[in-house]
Structure 1
Amino acid sequence: MLRQLFRRAALALGATACLALAAPLSLAQPAPKAGGTALIALIQEPGSFNRFLTGQTGALLGRMVVEGLFDPDEQGNYLPLLAAQLPTQANGAVSADSLSVRYTLRPGLKWSDGQPLTSADYVFTFEAYRNPASTPAGDAITPAWQQIESVTAVDALNFVVKMKRPNPGYLELFNIVLPKHKFDSPVLTQVHAQSRLPLGTGPFVVKEWRTGDAIVLVRNPHYRQAGKPYLDQIVLKIIPNREVAMQGLLRGEVDTLFFPTTGDLPTLIKAQKEGNPIEIAMQGSKSWVEWLWLNNTSNGDAKRPHPVLGDPAVREAMDRAINRQQIIDQVFGGLGQLTGSFLYSGWAAVDIPATPYDPSKASQVLEAAGWKKGADGVRVRNNVRASLRFQTISGDRTRELYQQLIQQNLKDVGIEIKIQNVPSTVLFGGYKDGGLMKRGNFDIAMSRDGYVVDPVVWAGKFTTPQIPSAEHVEGLNFMFYSNAEYDRVVDQAATMVDMAERRKLYTQAARRFAADRPALPLYSSAWGTAWSRRLGGVKSVSWNGIWAQSADWYIAK
């Protein structure tokens, strides 16, 4: 069935793709040759490729289309991409008081339609960001952006950003840029053409987006690197069932998969050892953690605590009742690490051990808080049953396995868990679309998330101003967590340049978060990427995945 799906996609794209699919595999990687089509299995369809409007999936895949001023290397050090240099106080681009930053573009950059990229586009992007009619989300909703006072073009290649206060995240600004010439006014929403079909400076252009079916990218004829990209096209085939997508990769019908989970890795490693024509790059546990997001409110109403999860004792008991090591050992073959900190990577990492598995202590905590077991074994307090919905993306058999382990762990201490998985578009949908997490219409949700390089954006997601509402639909605080102390230290850290002082503040934030338990970390993912040997030029950089290097991909014939 999957082979037929991809054959139809290839036929629709022309004979080149069909020939590429039929090309024999070779262990030797020849010199890059232009032409051909790469096929990517996409389990979760993004809402947009425009990083102004999208979060994790769309932002990462969008790297093939839309580029930022800077890009982190494998060690997390920022390097110039569209920028000519890194602005610093040493080179005079950052003022002594850190309130002014001059950004300089590389000369000769063009949009994918051939129009020049200039500083006017960055001024326009800021105007669109601050326009009340726009609906920025994802990378645009960060403390770094919120601290901009003004953006002024000096000339075609230089623009100056004035800050309201010192802004340590200034290198994370403008990883998105909008083409001024494609807008009648500085307003961008999900319905604008630049949402799904954005112009960019990246190696590829979105040619077609068939909702629920496929996204077709074609070579950008105005890409800044001569002779690149090598591929003619990249087709992202939407396959909501992870098992079907995995089998497609193992059979050579798919060139790569977005994203293999930790649970996929044992299968991939075993398949490679058995001779399947795939490559695997392991990246350790630098970036991603699997989380249980706990709804702290009653259906997103900040004035009403959740009838069960609003009790800190229940959250503590859940934390103690879950056997995380069992998940790592039984589901992931030992791949993964335990962590108790929401700041677990990079310079700001805070070493907080994972809560030990202790169901007896969990039961004691619940008893002391007045949660008594009923005749059916489910705890009750004030006529409220400790019964919770538990949701993640449907069709993910690996997650379903450890959902069942968690379900049993919590049953053992008197908490009833009802697994009700749903499609990603339902769980992670926008506020106006009735997304369960945005609306607070859930109890426990499970997903993988993390931060890139600097924790300023990640920590800011969990502050009170980030709580979603009808007036703030772009909010990212899906736990509806609100703590004044946490807000204060995270806000201070977002305005300090001194790294030592920032680390102290983030340590306070991490300890506050761990004590409140608005979300529970399950494990730090062993992260890897797998791709077919017919696809050459693939590199895996932990912060970006393989997508930022798509210009180097080629068909290894």
Structure 2
Amino acid sequence: MKLKTLLMGAIATTALVPAAFAAGHEGERGRDGQVNIIYWQAPSILNPYLSGGTKDIESASLVIEPLGRYDENGALVPYLAAEIPTVENGGVSEDLTSITWKLKEGLVWSDGTPVTSADVKFTADYCMHPEGGCAQGAKFDGVTNVEAIDDLTIKVTFSQPQPNPYGPFMGGQSPIIQAAQFADCLGAKAPECTEANFNPIGTGPFVVTDFRPNDVIQMEANPNFREEGKPAFASLTFKGGGDATAAGRAVMETGEFDYAWNMQLAPDVLAKMAEGGKGTPIAAFGTLVERIEMNLTNPSPDLPPETRATVAEPHPILSDERVRRALSMAIDRELLVEVGYGQAGRPTCNLVPAPALYASDNTECLTQDLDGARALLDEAGWTDSDGDGVRDKDGMKLSLLYQTSTNAVRQDFQALIKDWWSQIGVETELRNLDASVFFGGDPGSPDTFQKFYADVEMYANNFDGTDPQAYLSAYRCGNEPKPSSQWQGENINRFCDPEYDALLDELARTGELDKRGEIAKKLNDMLTKDSMTIVPLVDRGRVSAASNTLGGVILNTWDSELWNVADWYRIKE
């Protein structure tokens, strides 16, 4: 059982990077002055363990780093670690029950204090605390012990063989936090540590000088960064808010910003912006899937929060698989791609669309079938008894609240899907929420995607690296966001199936790559094809925009998009 077979570094991605980006650079740290980044979803916290939102994870990646990352091809590369542990180099035990990491020598935090194995162990204790509600808990699935062997050595032990032991401390979703700074922030106290959560001490190329949640972050070069001459920029502004259109214009038309994330815009809009001559769109496919999650719990405001968080009170409409399937059948995914993404999108029926090893051959959702959807609703007992165009059953209207974040493409999708659902007798109320709030993870807000106070909601996310085990583990029973977990957790729709959990356990025990692929496909199909708990819509190519004067940018779909910001520099005229 060779672990190296899991390191699939040959996964291909396509990055549309201007040739000028390949130019070399060298010199003093901070030599190129200021760089400006805009994310139209504004960060609300700089602690990935308290937020599953991409904008929070990626902004934090400028400051705090993991032991290793995934490069643009999905290969594992060391960052704070001296090397990636494998069976061959002795870092992974022959029986696959432990992995031992070695820190690079001489690492220091931005405050000048040494980075030690105690910080790594603390990070695990922080996320694994039973009262902490860690948003990245699936990364530590199966971990029984994390031990600091010496100042530079950390041993992670698993409850059973782990063919893919790179969950903890790998990728932007699982960085190392400083034990001294977060010492009093364990468990239920975690959200209360505002200073640490907003201004983490890190090892990355930049340090925070001012953080205004849901607005702007000011940073400057980390004077203690381990690589000489990096970063090239002395200061960085990370602007949040607005919309994708304004962000794209700020890079490609006005040149006000150097980098804009997530250009979720229609193809013709992007092409027009690029004519501005200041910047260029860059794109790559990975595992980012726009999907609809079906709420399996009753979101009624008349129920207490604990009940709304679990399947103790099933959803009065969507608990019926036939209704969920009918809603999926009514959707024309090809048209969604044409309207929203063009060549940067592909219709999909899968939650895990890549790598090919793990992608199910399920394609039955790709054909819209309105008549079939109507027949299913008839079978489920939903009929239009009063002729008003909306089906009803036992005195209840077939009416759904459909929420997502504010975004032009998403609102186009909502309008189209509402129309298709109306054609099968479903009444739909649309709600869109500011992305900074929707993805913010504030336990006091009723409008987060984790609380899911709606019937269906639409968003996209993906996973670090090329192995989907931790991603699929998100839907394990008990992993739902709830009051006791500070509303953190990855099982957003509250799916729970013991057979699914048993398959997850089998995946964790399986080392042979083809068999891992078979199991992952079954898990994907249980969530999508078999149950329609998750309704995938579009396999989205990640599209961003970079200034024509910004060098070193390599778009990465397998990790934080800002993974190599230390290598960015200004192209001289």
Paired residue secondary structure (2:191)? coil
Q: Residues of 2 paired with 1:146 and 1:28: CA distance?
A: 39
AA aligned to 1:167 is: Q
2:8 alignment counterpart: none
1:358 alignment counterpart: 369
1:444 alignment counterpart: 456
1:121-140 CA distances to partner (integer Å, 9 max, x unpaired)? 11222233333453422x3x
Q: 2:474 aligns with which of 453, 458, 461?
A: 461
Matched, 1:493 2:504: no
Structure 1 position 543, deviation (Å): 1.6
1:67 alignment counterpart: 65
Contact 1:426–1:434 (Cα < 8 Å) also in 2: no
1:31-72 CA distances to partner (integer Å, 9 max, x unpaired)? 566132122222222332222222222112222111111111
Equivalence map 1:183-262=2 (5 Å): 183-185=182-184, 187=186, 189-192=190-193, 193-249=195-251, 250-261=253-264
1:434-479 CA distances to partner (integer Å, 9 max, x unpaired)? 3443333111111111223111121011222211222233222111
Q: Residues of 2 paired with 1:359 and 1:475: CA distance?
A: 35
Q: Residues of 1 paired with 2:493 and 2:131: CA distance?
A: 26
1:144-194 CA distances to partner (integer Å, 9 max, x unpaired)? 413222222222211222222222342231232121232444626123222
Paired residue secondary structure (1:342)? coil
Matched, 1:324 2:333: yes
Comparing 177-186 with 355-364, greater Cα deviation is found at 177-186
1:177 alignment counterpart: 176
Paired residue secondary structure (2:226)? coil
AA aligned to 1:78 is: L
Comparing 413-422 with 90-99, greater Cα deviation is found at 90-99
1:14 alignment counterpart: none
Q: Residues of 2 paired with 1:217 and 1:125: CA distance?
A: 23
2:16 alignment counterpart: none
Contact 2:297–2:313 (Cα < 8 Å) also in 1: yes
Contact 2:438–2:449 (Cα < 8 Å) also in 1: yes
Structure 1 position 334, deviation (Å): 4.9
AA aligned to 2:496 is: S
TM-score using structure 2 length: 0.86
Matched, 1:278 2:292: no
Matched, 1:511 2:525: yes
Taking a change above 3 Å as real, the CA distance of residues 27 and 436 of structure 1, as seen in their structure-2 partners, is closer
Paired residue secondary structure (2:197)? helix
Matched, 1:108 2:119: no
Paired residue secondary structure (1:459)? helix
Paired residue secondary structure (2:363)? coil
Paired residue secondary structure (1:252)? coil
Paired residue secondary structure (2:461)? strand
Matched, 1:42 2:23: no
Equivalence map 1:3-402=2 (5 Å): 31=25, 34-55=31-52, 56-137=54-135, 139=136, 141-142=137-138, 144-174=139-169, 175-185=174-184, 187=186, 189-192=190-193, 193-249=195-251, 250-261=253-264, 263-272=265-274, 274-283=275-284, 285-299=285-299, 300=308, 301-346=310-355, 347-355=357-365, 356-373=367-384, 374-394=386-406, 396-402=407-413
Comparing 63-72 with 235-244, greater Cα deviation is found at 235-244
Contact 2:230–2:566 (Cα < 8 Å) also in 1: yes
Q: Residues of 2 paired with 1:30 and 1:343: CA distance?
A: 36
Comparing 358-367 with 471-480, greater Cα deviation is found at 471-480
AA aligned to 1:357 is: Q
Paired residue secondary structure (2:175)? coil
Contact 1:338–1:353 (Cα < 8 Å) also in 2: no
Paired residue secondary structure (2:563)? helix
Paired residue secondary structure (1:446)? strand
Structure 1 position 29, deviation (Å): 6.3
AA aligned to 1:178 is: I
AA aligned to 1:358 is: D
Q: Residues of 1 paired with 2:91 and 2:295: CA distance?
A: 44
Taking a change above 3 Å as real, the CA distance of residues 196 and 329 of structure 1, as seen in their structure-2 partners, is same
Taking a change above 3 Å as real, the CA distance of residues 265 and 99 of structure 1, as seen in their structure-2 partners, is same
Paired residue secondary structure (2:450)? helix
Taking a change above 3 Å as real, the CA distance of residues 325 and 467 of structure 1, as seen in their structure-2 partners, is same
1:8 alignment counterpart: none
1:403-436 CA distances to partner (integer Å, 9 max, x unpaired)? 1111111111111111111222443334443344
Count of aligned positions: 525
AA aligned to 1:197 is: N
Contact 1:430–1:438 (Cα < 8 Å) also in 2: no
1:16 alignment counterpart: none
AA aligned to 1:368 is: E
1:4 alignment counterpart: none
Q: Residues of 2 paired with 1:177 and 1:212: CA distance?
A: 24
Paired residue secondary structure (1:290)? strand
Structure 1 position 372, deviation (Å): 0.8
Structure 1 position 28, deviation (Å): 11
AA aligned to 1:375 is: G
Structure 1 position 212, deviation (Å): 3.3
Pairwise CA RMSD: 2.2
TM-score using structure 1 length: 0.89
1:83-119 CA distances to partner (integer Å, 9 max, x unpaired)? 1122122222222222222211111111111111111
Taking a change above 3 Å as real, the CA distance of residues 399 and 481 of structure 1, as seen in their structure-2 partners, is same
Q: Residues of 1 paired with 2:518 and 2:21: CA distance?
A: 50
1:531 alignment counterpart: 546
Structure 1 position 518, deviation (Å): 0.7
Contact 1:48–1:190 (Cα < 8 Å) also in 2: no
Q: Residues of 2 paired with 1:229 and 1:379: CA distance?
A: 60
Taking a change above 3 Å as real, the CA distance of residues 226 and 485 of structure 1, as seen in their structure-2 partners, is same
Structure 1 position 345, deviation (Å): 0.5
Q: Residues of 1 paired with 2:452 and 2:414: CA distance?
A: 20
2:516 alignment counterpart: 502
Contact 1:40–1:234 (Cα < 8 Å) also in 2: yes
Structure 1 position 504, deviation (Å): 2.4
AA aligned to 1:494 is: A
